[in-house]
A and B are shown apart, each in its own frame.
Chain A
Amino acid sequence: MKNTTSPGKSNTAVLILLILGLSTIAFPLYLTVVIAFKQPSEMTNSISGILSLPKTWSLNNFREAMEVTDFWNSLKNSLLISVLTVGLSIILHSLMGYALGRNKASSKFYNFVYLFIVSGMFVPFAILMMPLAKQTAEMGLANWFGVILLYVVFYMPMNIMLYSGYLVNIPLALEEAARVDGASTWRTYWSIIFPIMRPMHATVAVITALAVWNDVMTPLVIMAGTAQNTLPLAQLNFQSQFGTNYNLAFASYLLSLIPILVFYLVCQKQILNGVVNGAVK
């Protein structure tokens, strides 16, 4: 705490504490990996039996877990829902952020629409879930497509706030110059404003993707009637099939964590930036 400025021996103490603290994160992950690779016969009741390394690093548990939880199908659904939600969010929310951000200072109507949508941030899913379950069923949207539509609506308040906040820094003169050249507003948006908002697209993509990928409640409530699962939902729905075979269960947990771990390893910088931007702005 006291060494923000003075380099020297006290920093070694901080370093050691940080390494110790890291064990609280590493331990559950270690636990997951070793149990996922072991055979039930290796799981004795003693702590060393659980925590020791597996005798052989066999992929059998994973193969079985993939079959039991219909892994590839769930992965496909998760990817489909996440990618389409992110794509639609970037297109629709940036457009809406543009329309509202450019007009809310001068127009009561746009200002009202802005506040109306942004206040949607306070609405907990708990109050929407029962009516939405009914409504999506009535509209024939109790499926992955309905889930995507709902996500586009749920993340709209946050994303519109981000986009219209970002627009404040983009001078109107840019659009006016294009207008003088005879370009329509629609074309000006796509050729000038949309590309310029790229840093915000990255932020929106990251926070929307993380939230959607890990969400359980929406697909649980909306897709319950379909035989389809997302990755997290599959863990919930197949929980009973794992029984007391924890090795199988942990192999399945690990499988469901791998895509997001890979994503994090590859885009760590963008993810950290995006998350901070999203929260602080």
Chain B
Amino acid sequence: MKHENDRKRTFLLITIPILALFICFNTIPLIRGAMYSFTNSRGFGSFEWVGFRNYADLFTDSRVGKSYLFTVKLALVTTIVVNVLSLILALGLNSKIRAKGFFRGAYFLPNILGSLVVGYIFNYFFTYILPALADMIGIESLRSSILSSPSRAWIGVMIVCAWQAIAMNTIIYISGLQTVPEDVYEAGGLDGATGWKRFRHLTFPLIIPFFSINMVLSVKNFLMVFDQIVALTKGGPSQSTESISYLIYNNGMAGGQFGFQSANAVVFFIVIVVISVAQMKFSSSKEEQL
């Protein structure tokens, strides 16, 4: 009994202060953010309650709409590109090759580098190297920097996001491929499953849990893209690459739209929750089917 009490008390003494810390720096700011979304606060000075006006304005604000379109487009395209390339790369890295350890280590390298600095390096590449290369080979359309074109700057952002994310997704796919037992292939080989057929019907179904992990990781990370935008485009040209996080930071922190961008952040939060939950539901039902 004495031990029971000691155990209970110890667990409470651990839980309460750490929970308090979490509430203080996660729950309370979340609630405050939600409260500010109903005000016209500029981030300083006095403010008034404005009810749902910020939310009504959000849906008619073309800049916000544009940033959602850009962010969602970027997240979807990058997710597809990254997952296709990572899967191919993982299959290659999982095959019987020499210097496997070296290749795996080298292909993971982009993931450990800070995305801001990676963005700056690619900024230079897109601004000077790529146009110079295009000039040399004679590709007219790439002679000017893609980052200065409102219709193509997002491709630059996509490439930089993909360059780093492929490293992460590949390593997860490799660990998935390693869970596929050899005899599955042997049995499949007898049935005449080779190449694409074997991948489609044998390998892929077995690594679906890893596919789900990668989907959730990718979509969530790309929806929250920030560093790459700061380093590559600062949201431009003509606000064509303004991600939601960047817009909230830029206009909310410095642009005097504290209240309005708080409403934007609340909507963004709901979007993230809905997408994450839907993805997890979807992938767990997929896994059950198999």
Contacts and interface: CB of A to CB of B under 8 A. Distances in A.
A153 interface: yes
Interface string A48-75: 0011000000000000000000000000
Contacts of B24: 153
Given A22-B106, A135-B32, A153-B25, A110 B120 contact: no
Interface residues of B, number: 96
B96 to A, nearest CB: 5
Given A124-B272, A216-B227, A28 B122 contact: yes
Interface residues of A, number: 89
Nearest to A281: B213
A253 B121 contact: yes
Q: Give the 3 A-B CB pairs with smallest separation, nearest first.
A: A131-B29, A127-B265, A214-B114
Contacts of B106: 22, 25
Given A18-B93, A131-B32, A185 B269 contact: no
A193 B3 CA distance: 17
B11 to A, nearest CB: 5
Interface string A98-141: 11101100000010010001001011111111111111000000
A166 interface: no
A224 B65 CA distance: 29
Contacts of B19: 113, 117
B95 A25 contact: no
Interface stretch (B49-57, B147-155, B242-250): B242-250
Nearest to A95: B14
Given A127-B265, A130-B262, A235-B116, 7 more contacts: A4-B95, A14-B97, A18-B103, A22-B106, A96-B15, A127-B30, A153-B21
Given A253-B117, A276-B175, A124 B26 contact: no
A264 B96 CA distance: 25
Contact of A4 (B117, B118, B185, B249): B185
Contacts of B6: 184-185
A149 interface: yes
Given A21-B89, A47-B133, A124-B272, A31 B103 contact: no
A125 B25 contact: no
A81 B157 CA distance: 29
B47 interface: no
A149 B24 CA distance: 10
B110 interface: yes
A15 to B, nearest CB: 5
Contacts of A99: 10-11, 14-15
Contacts of B186: 5
Interface stretch (B72-80, B124-132, B282-290): B124-132
A45 interface: yes
A189 B93 CA distance: 41
Contact of B33 (A1, A127, A179): A127
B92 A257 contact: no
A241 to B, nearest CB: 14
Interface in B182-197: 182, 185-186, 189, 194-196
Contacts of A271: 108, 112
Interface of B: 3, 6-7, 10-11, 14-15, 18-19, 21-22, 24-26, 28-30, 32-33, 36, 43, 88-89, 91-98, 103-118, 120-122, 124-125, 128-129, 132-133, 136, 163, 168, 171-172, 175, 177, 182, 185-186, 189, 194-196, 198-199, 203, 210, 213, 217, 224, 226-227, 230, 244-245, 248-249, 252-253, 258, 261-262, 265-266, 268-269, 272-273, 276
12 contacts: A1-B196, A4-B95, A5-B189, A130-B252, A130-B258, A131-B28, A135-B29, A156-B26, A235-B116, A275-B171, A279-B172, A280-B172
B117 A256 contact: yes
A217 interface: yes
Interface in A149-166: 149-150, 152-154, 156
Contact of A1 (B107, B109, B195, B213): B195
A117 to B, nearest CB: 6
A122 B30 CA distance: 12
Interface string A256-279: 110011011000100110011001
Contacts of A152: 21
Nearest to B185: A5
Contacts of A46: 132
Contact of B132 (A7, A35, A50, A261): A50
Given A18-B97, A149-B25, A275-B171, A2 B198 contact: yes
B249 to A, nearest CB: 7
Nearest to B194: A2
